[in-house]
């Protein structure tokens, strides 16, 4: 089947070949099963199949085993005979060992090319999820992002965000009139969470040059799709960072890629391992975002495959979007496990040849219950399938082999050197420096004015005799004592008292008449 990926053999004696149709590969999928049942090998053979069909792949290597995709399997491998025997059983006649074009990525830059994004591209919703912020703290973060847009301050790395939050806190009274209350305590809490993220090494994922989507959708010279492997064994120590970064990448694909409808094969297949980390304690807004992406990204030509231990880990609305399913064995030791097993079995199209619930419980390592979309996107009848053996190396590459693959990578040297262009941190520092300079100049001017005033006051000279502040006019030297008395009497007569005396005298005269 040239338009499908060979998954394994099903039916009686495992002789019926099972394929995942490329035309419906962008309808998403699920790989589930308990630990040690073969999920990693299934992921490996699907990545091989998509690459061989010319479809780029992005996956996270949680345990470090998938780096072997870059090397061919060997005949001296301990499972060589088991693999060849299985290939014969399922009718895999052209089975052979082969390596695949691989690009290694690492958020910390140790086991792959550095992969970064900017704070602005990740956005307040995902950063709030990453920092585990409360609703009030998320509101302040949204204010900070809005101000960055309005003020033309690019948010590229954590330094930019930290500096902007300091500025928001300092101007909270003015900003509060427009955006609502901004608590100093909430700003401080966000800063503490950023410090924790920085101490965990998360600061390295923010900055430039940011990852270009075209680099993970590339093809090898022979036409095969490149397999992009994100080193996640160390990253899993920060599960929220792991889940947030993969969700950001998925969101970027959704927002940036053009609509393509229903292509003959996907433009990219995205494997989300340990998918339960995405939904653990996730707010409803985030779950709704994932559901929206899962529903609509299909039209962008991207297929998303969730990998987890139990289908119950995936919200029901999202689980319903996953048409291609590979279900490895589930353990049913408790009542909850049995309920989850029963519910998982009910999601498959029944096969009259066996009981689906019993099959999910009984399938061995390397075997699975599968259901792939068929014509018109209808789910196929469930089958017990023996998964085909991988063509690439089973197990991790050595450090020297990994280094050689990285050196030959088409993106070698592109992301290794970190860039630091003018952004919010530098802009706010320039503003602070300008304000300090202006304040210093104003203070100097004030000091000059005070010095001039002191000099003016010190330079004043007085002449003549000092006088008291009395308002009485002194008698002129030429006046005699009698003249002075006469003048005083006349003054009194012209005053109020004098007028009273005159009225009294005149009144007496007229009464006597």
Q: Is the sign of the CA dihedral 92, 93, 99, 103 positive or negative? A: negative
Please report which confidence band the pLDDT of residue 500 belongs to, taking 50, 70 and 90 as the band edges.
low
Joined together, the tokens standing for residue 295 give 């529903």
User: Is the predicted pLDDT of residue 64 greater than 90, yes or no?
Assistant: no
User: Is the predicted pLDDT of residue 24 greater than 50, yes or no?
Assistant: yes
145-152 average pLDDT score? 93
pLDDT score for 481: 47
Rounded Cα gap, residues 184 and 190, in angstroms = 10
Please write the tens of the pLDDT for every residue from 235-282. Answer: 888 888 898 899 899 989 999 999 998 899 999 999 999 888 888 877
| Cα dihedral 344, 350, 355, 360 in deg (nearest 10) | -30
pTM of the model: 0.82
- The percentage of residues in the chain with a pLDDT greater than 70, rounded to a whole number, is 88
Rounded Cα gap, residues 197 and 189, in angstroms = 13
- Lowest-pLDDT range of 208-217, 218-227, 345-354: 345-354
When comparing pLDDT for 75 and 333, which is higher?
Answer: 75
Under 8 Å between Cβ of 12 and 289: no
Comparing CA positions, the residue from 307, 395, 112 lying closest to residue 226 is 112
152-168 average pLDDT score? 94
Mean of the per-residue pLDDT values of the chain = 87
Please report which confidence band the pLDDT of residue 506 belongs to, taking 50, 70 and 90 as the band edges.
very low
Rounded Cα gap, residues 267 and 46, in angstroms = 15
Please write the tens of the pLDDT for every residue from 112-130. Answer: 999 999 999 999 989 998 9
Q: How far apart are the two ends of the chain, measured CA to CA in Å?
A: 153
471-479 average pLDDT score? 50
- CA distances in angstroms from 157 to 72, 189, 418, listed in the order given: 39, 19, 11
CB crowding 436-459: b at 16 or more within 10 Å, else e:
eeeeeeeeeeeeeeeeeeeeeeee
Helix (H, G, I), strand (E, B) or coil at 233: coil
Please report which confidence band the pLDDT of residue 451 belongs to, taking 50, 70 and 90 as the band edges.
confident
Who contacts 77 (Cβ-Cβ below 8 Å, separation ≥6)? 83, 393, 394
Under 8 Å between Cβ of 105 and 230: yes
User: Is the predicted pLDDT of residue 468 greater than 80, yes or no?
Assistant: no
308-330 average pLDDT score? 90
Please report which confidence band the pLDDT of residue 509 belongs to, taking 50, 70 and 90 as the band edges.
very low
């Amino acid at each position: 089947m040239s338009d499908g990926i060979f998954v394994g053999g099903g039916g009686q004696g495992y002789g019926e070949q099972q394929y995942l149709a490329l035309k419906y590969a962008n309808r998403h999928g699920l790989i589930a099963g308990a630990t040690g049942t073969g999920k990693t090998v299934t992921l490996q053979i699907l990545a091989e199949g998509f690459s061989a069909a010319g479809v780029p792949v992005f996956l996270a290597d949680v345990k470090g085993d998938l780096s072997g995709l870059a090397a061919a399997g060997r005949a001296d491998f301990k499972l060589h005979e088991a693999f060849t025997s299985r290939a014969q059983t399922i009718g895999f006649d052209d089975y052979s060992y082969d390596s695949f074009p691989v690009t290694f990525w690492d958020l910390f830059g140790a086991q792959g090319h550095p992969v970064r994004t900017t704070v602005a591209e990740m956005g307040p919703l995902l950063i709030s999820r990453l920092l585990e912020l409360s609703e009030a703290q998320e509101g302040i973060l949204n204010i900070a992002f809005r101000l960055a847009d309005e003020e033309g301050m690019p948010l590229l790395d954590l330094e930019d965000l930290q500096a902007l939050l300091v500025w928001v806190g300092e101007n909270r009274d003015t900003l509060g009139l427009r955006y609502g209350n901004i608590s100093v305590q909430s700003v401080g809490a966000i800063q503490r969470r950023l410090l924790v993220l920085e101490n965990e090494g998360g600061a390295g994922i923010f900055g430039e040059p940011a990852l270009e989507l075209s680099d993970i959708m590339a093809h090898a010279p022979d036409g095969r799709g490149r397999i992009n492997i994100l080193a996640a064994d160390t990253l899993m120590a920060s599960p929220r960072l792991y889940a947030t970064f993969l969700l950001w990448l998925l969101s970027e694909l959704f927002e940036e890629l053009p609509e393509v409808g229903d292509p003959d094969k996907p433009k990219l297949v995205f494997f989300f391992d340990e998918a339960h980390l995405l939904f653990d304690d996730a707010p409803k807004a985030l779950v709704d975002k994932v559901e929206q992406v899962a529903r609509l990204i299909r039209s962008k030509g991207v297929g998303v495959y969730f990998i987890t231990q139990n289908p119950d880990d995936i919200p029901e609305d999202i689980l319903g979007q996953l048409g291609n399913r590979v279900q490895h064995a589930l353990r049913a030791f408790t009542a909850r496990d049995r309920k989850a097993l029963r519910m998982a079995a009910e999601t498959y199209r029944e096969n009259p040849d066996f009981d689906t619930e019993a099959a999910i419980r009984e399938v061995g390592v390397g075997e699975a219950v599968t259901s792939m979309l068929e014509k018109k996107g209808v789910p196929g009848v469930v089958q017990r399938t023996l998964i085909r053996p991988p063509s690439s190396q089973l197990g991790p590459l050595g450090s020297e082999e990994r280094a050689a693959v990285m050196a030959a990578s088409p993106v070698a040297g592109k992301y290794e050197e970190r860039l630091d262009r003018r952004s919010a941190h530098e802009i706010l520092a320039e503003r602070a420096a300008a304000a300090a300079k202006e304040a210093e100049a104003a203070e100097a001017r004030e000091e000059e004015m005070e010095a001039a005033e002191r000099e003016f006051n010190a330079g004043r000279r007085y002449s003549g005799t000092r006088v008291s502040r009395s308002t009485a006019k002194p008698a002129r030297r030429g006046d005699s004592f009698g003249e002075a008395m006469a003048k005083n009497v006349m003054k009194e007569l012209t005053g109020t008292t004098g007028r009273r005396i005159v009225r009294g005298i005149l009144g007496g005269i007229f009464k006597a008449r």
